[in-house]
Chains A and B, each alone.
Chain A
Amino acid sequence: MEQLPILIPLPLLAASLVVPLAGLWAPRAVFPISVAAVALSAAMSALALAEVVAGGEALRYTLGGWAPPIGIEYVVDHVAAFVTAVITGVALLVVVAARRAAAREAAGRRGLFYALVLLLLAGLTGMVVTGDLFNVFVFMEISSLAAYALVFRGGRAGMLAAYRYLILGTVGGSFYLLGVAFLYFTTGTLNMTDMARLLGEAEPNISVAAGAAFIFAGLGMKMALVPLHLWLPDAYTFAPSSVNSLIAPIMTKVGAYVMVRMFISVFPEGYLADEVPVSQALIALGLAGSVYGAYAAMGQRDLRRMLAYSSVSQLGLLAVGIGIATPLGLAAALLHVMNHALMKGALFLTAMSMRMGAGVSDVRMLAGLGRRMPATSAVFAVGAVAMVGIPPTAGFFSKWYLSIAAIDEGLWFVLAVVLASSLLSAVYLFRVIERLYLAPAPAIAGGADDAPNAAAPAQDAPARESPLDVTLPMALLALATIVLGVLNVVVMERVLEPGL
């Protein structure tokens, strides 16, 4: 199966061409085709992961038969296989769960809607499997364009959010391209493997340093690293429910993955800390982000906006792991890519389910939903507990390894901030759990505008539990946060450690 690397994005890309046509002639076929494509891609990712873990060797495929330094190479190593398996797996569950919401939100344009979803996923998987720096840019723009268009469908506020997202996202992409230009003119290659070799031989110079700075600035924009996160809260809040539950768990993670890729496959070891202070910046901004995001999340009334800021916080932790840049730090970051994708996927799906079933997304209006939407609320509770990081859920272990990696490097303040940020996340997440389960809803202390009439309508509002095709994928994600938490050693020892 030497074509396996290209077979991961290919079904998605092919289906994205078929689906708009299907939308015209047979709208009923759109959803099955899309799910089949995502499932096929997920299966290929799983296969690639199995093969890489069994063989211990990266899978390489050269596009069009051109030999690597000249031609474009697709490489699936442990890390890439792990990340594609995570994003396609989570995407599969989310796409299935979001069917009803998408049918409502994409009314009449289902073909185009799913074409965008598939393009988005094709771009993301392409970014992961490619071994060529310029190719990363192309796939990044494909996924971003699809994301802009999807966010744009989120009503009046979504339109402006999408436009701003487009501007900032494109700036991020352009920065990345500018950085690649500097590296290209220094080394004369775009192939990652080749560039790593040449950069290792070359004397560090200002051009490479500038390249690194621009690349990480661009990727920081894509992964919403504070202070480049400004697009994220609006985009996640106003996007259609079916869209934000898809882009929130996976999109920023791929930006983070490309950062990891820069550390392990492009720049020589230690270069990004000694020659350019990228590591230091990632740690500092990541810590700031993890605290700021959690702090901002505490003040949010809209559940999706709260979760969006929570993403900013969690991505900050991810950046810290990347910045530590030891194998353990990177492994912690990658483990968090998986864990956060599972947790946020589950949480955003519950937000979608609450919006569909009860018509609310204001935290204050959720009172009593624990009884009326038991499955959704239970998934939220599990996801929240995992986010806080109570053992043995997955969220605990990303923080656990991150802490160990930080202590290992003598970064005590990192340990303190990691622990503090999980305490802050407990504050905003348990507030929601209180609302869901404890009725009558008590007034939140100090909230002057928290008038009784704001909470009252939810008491009587009709709410129906979402059907099984929504709750089951959601429950699977929640279950996965526990199972993969307990089995984290398997992931660490079989997949991440050999890959780093």
Chain B
Amino acid sequence: MTGESVSSPLPFVAVLVPLAAAAAAPVLGRWPNAREAASIAAALATFGFVAALLPGASDGKAATVSLLELSPGIEVALRADAAGMLFALLASFLWVLAAVYSIGYMRGLEERKQTRFYAAFALSVGAALGVAFAANLLTFVLFYELLTLFTYPLVVHRETPEAVRAGRKYLAYTLTGGLALIGATAWLAMLGVDASFQAGGFLGEQRWWTDGQLWALFFLLAGGVGVKAAVMPLHSWLPAAMVAPTPVSALLHAVAVVKAGVFGMVRVLIFVFGADLLRDMGAWQVIAAASGATLILASFLALRHDNLKRRLAYSTISHLSYIVLGVALLGPLALTGALLHMVGHGVTKITLFFCAGAIHVRTHRDQVSGMAGIGRQMPVTMGAFALAALSMAGIPPFILFTSKWYLGWGAAEVGQQAFLIVYMASGVLSAAYLFPIVIRAFAARSPDFPPFGEADARMVAPIAVVALLGLAWGIAPDLPFGFFELASSVAADAFPSSAPAAEAAP
């Protein structure tokens, strides 16, 4: 394992707090105010614990905790390294906002079974943090499977036949992916390979692998995480899962779950295989081709969908492939860009989903075609939507411009100008499927619109915060968490030979 390790129970505590909060939810279920106060308190506490790990991670002294042996010789170990830190910070920080937003949303719609919702939500965040901090493959698989299990009740929350079908599809895809991971992990465990994640990969050191074995392992692992990363053709659970309540779509299907897949891709490609081995095998081309195709195709599919959440789902699929492609390019700049894009897309896409939810609560409209003129009535919400749309299209000075800049630069750095063009084309497409919504919302007039105002403050406030963060992080990505620093330190660890990524955002 690269970098120093400091023994500390903090990563475990950070995972445990959401799980404890989930246990508290049924106890407090009778008093909604107490239940939701507990949910916010847990989110804040979790964020606090994760933030406390930050100094160690940025100094290269990752906090590590080993819990118990899960299989002879393999421990459940959590380690807050720089890469995990990026994901954990993002998930725990956005959970605070999503927790506030959920209250407005769930109460606004008078949703049923809110206690189950809050419990499963907290459990899912806990599992996502476990994925972030997992120090070896078995721990990763453990939390990855738990994440599947805990998000299932959220997907089927509405309990309509459509939701149940979506839930089945979701389980079918993600459990299959999980099984592929389990198979690969068992294989590595049998060979006695110490499957602790290691920047630069650990498989490259094992010289006795045959090509066939490596490829089989590659397909099992990359396929396993590729399901949650929604790389085509493994993507179709994600649009289906949009039947979940919007806070779920926002935090889990734009941030925690899918990012767990993308993050898993980082772990698999960079920390298991390593860049050198993937280059030797040529395996990176498989991922790059699949994600490059997904990137473009999903953007076109997004254009076709009138349902706002579905459109956003395809946009998510497209942007996830930005990240996967960035990782697969195997260059320090591309990796920096990919990790930044993971953060940036998280905060941007959650803005868009929050807006979609606010619109749904106020107007019960889900179709883009029904939203003409809505900007006049919900100026803050639609203003935030506009900011996020600009960011998605990669307009400076938003965060996604910064990340895309590095991704494009990284593609050029490794001599893959074709992918640079893909990135640029996709930016145009993002604009094509998001800008019309904004323009019609503000410019068009719709006579049949009943008058209604802005959504509940508990929804509008988080929306405004995430929208402005997308801008703020674009201007200064290091404030206050040092995302850029973390991302470039991961890249420097993974590609020790290359020069460290240039400082200073453009």
Instruction: Report A's interface with B, CB cutoff 8 A.
Output: 385, 388, 390-392, 396-397, 399-401, 403-404, 407-408, 415-416, 419, 422-423, 426, 430, 434, 437-440, 442-443, 445, 486-489, 492-493
Contact = CB atoms under 8 A, between A and B. Distances in A.
Given A400-B186, A419-B179, A434 B167 contact: yes
A408 B190 contact: yes
Contacts of B148: 390
A285 B186 CA distance: 23
A254 B418 CA distance: 63
Contacts of B141: 391
11 contacts: A390-B145, A390-B178, A391-B145, A391-B182, A396-B145, A408-B190, A415-B186, A423-B176, A438-B159, A440-B159, A489-B72
Interface residues on B, range: 20 to 34
B479 interface: no
A407 B190 contact: yes
Given A397-B70, A400-B71, A493-B72, 6 more contacts: A390-B149, A391-B145, A401-B71, A404-B186, A437-B153, A443-B161
Interface of B, helix, strand, loop or mixed by DSSP:
helix
B454 to A, nearest CB: 34
A423 B190 contact: no
Contacts of A408: 190
Nearest to A390: B145
Nearest to B143: A391
A388 B145 CA distance: 11
B461 interface: no
Contacts of A430: 168, 171
A423 B167 CA distance: 15
B189 interface: yes
A488 B70 contact: yes
B175 interface: yes
B422 interface: no
Interface string B148-185: 11000100100111011101100100011011101100
Contacts of B211: none
A388 B152 CA distance: 14
Nearest to B157: A438
Contacts of A401: 71
B167 A492 contact: no
A183 to B, nearest CB: 35
B161 A486 contact: no
Interface of A, helix, strand, loop or mixed by DSSP:
helix
A419 B168 contact: no
Nearest to A434: B164
Contacts of B189: 400, 404
Contacts of A492: 72
A207 B16 CA distance: 61
Interface string B396-433: 00000000000000000000000000000000000000
Contact of B70 (A388, A423, A443, A486): A486
Contacts of B186: 400, 403-404, 407, 415
Nearest to A397: B71
B40 interface: no
A492 B74 CA distance: 13
Given A404-B190, A423-B175, A430-B171, A442 B142 contact: no
A401 B74 CA distance: 13
Contacts of B175: 388, 423, 426
A426 B171 contact: yes
Given A391-B145, A407-B187, A434-B167, A488 B182 contact: no
B248 to A, nearest CB: 16
Nearest to A407: B190
Contacts of A440: 159
Interface in B33-69: 68-69
Nearest to A328: B190
A399 B71 CA distance: 12
Contacts of A442: 160-161, 164-165
Nearest to B148: A390
A439 B116 CA distance: 14
Contacts of A438: 156, 159, 163-164
Interface in B179-223: 179-180, 182-183, 186-187, 189-190
Contacts of B163: 438
B159 A439 contact: yes
A492 to B, nearest CB: 6
B142 A391 contact: yes
Q: Which of A391, A399, A401, A419 has the most CB of B within 10 A?
A: A391
A390 B146 contact: yes
Contact of A415 (B146, B159, B183): B183
Nearest to A435: B164
Contacts of A426: 171, 175
B71 A488 contact: yes
B72 A403 contact: no
A7 to B, nearest CB: 33
Given A419-B179, A422-B179, A442-B164, A489 B190 contact: no
A423 B179 contact: yes
B72 A400 contact: no
B57 to A, nearest CB: 26
A250 to B, nearest CB: 26
B159 A419 contact: no
